[in-house]
Structure 1
């Protein structure tokens, strides 16, 4: 930790949510399973919004400290993806990510049948770090940090 707390840094605790329907064109495996990289791409999307909201820049994903695939993601699912800022460094932002299946297709009941999952199913969790440019530089065109 940097020694900063929620009172000292309002970026801590910021949560960004996205929802996405998983189209059947993304199914790669038997049972309409979707590869794990699909969710990692969604984590990148919410991380981008986190950086925009905290620093006014899209930032760059530096890496994951942990990724856990806990339940399958299938075509026909509606996913809710969340990123919460848990650490703020001078240029880095560490986030906890969670992907929940909130709705699931039920093709065995009919071609367009689906249900709301209550409670949602946690499919993927992760901890990752993004970086943003130094405050005094606007980016590569200005000789910035990347």
Structure 2
């Protein structure tokens, strides 16, 4: 299996809800970025994302957190690529003090599964 991981600091400006919560679309954007990276590594092309078959929001992501987004190839067809995604919080913000702590165990915040497609001319 092939895996790609991106890490990112979540800016406080990305938080839109009480408790500095970040919306779920933030995770999906990161999945798009890491999925594109995976597609380039596998096929030399950005690919086209066809859709998600599942998305699970499991824990909050907050402004000030540090997260890592992972894309893992689980099935490779002629042109289709099935990818599993996971967003983990690896550092958790401590209030609005500027302090943060590295978590002993990453907190799985979002899981998803989806399908990307490589254009026909790229597979020949």
* Same-fold call, TM cutoff 0.5: yes
Q: Matched residues in 1 for 2:53 and 2:72: separation?
A: 15
- In structure 2, list runs of 5 or more residues that go unmatched: none
Deviates further, 99-108 or 51-60: 99-108
How much has 1:105 moved relative to structure 2? 1.1
Q: Bigger relative contact order, structure 1 or 2, given CA contacts below 8 A and separation 6+?
A: 2
Q: Matched residues in 2 for 1:60 and 1:21: separation?
A: 26
1:62 pairs with 2:50: yes
TM superposition outliers: structure 1 runs of 4+ over 6 Å: none
How much has 1:104 moved relative to structure 2? 1.1
* Partner residue of 2:71 out of 83, 101, 125: 83
3-state DSSP class of the match of 2:61?
A: coil
* Partner residue of 2:62 out of 59, 74, 84: 74
1:22 pairs with 2:13: no
Q: Matched residues in 2 for 1:34 and 1:42: separation?
A: 13
1:39 pairs with 2:27: yes
3-state DSSP class of the match of 2:49?
A: strand
Q: Matched residues in 2 for 1:96 and 1:107: separation?
A: 32
- In structure 1, list runs of 5 or more residues that go unmatched: 1-12, 139-146
Q: Matched residues in 1 for 2:80 and 2:115: separation?
A: 6
How much has 1:107 moved relative to structure 2? 2.2
Bigger Rg, which one: 1
After TM superposition, list the pairs within 5 Å mapping 1:1-146 onto structure 2: 13-107=1-95, 111-134=97-120, 137=121
Which structure's residues are more often strand, by fraction? 2
Aligned length: 122
Taking structure 2 as the reference length, the TM-score comes to 0.95
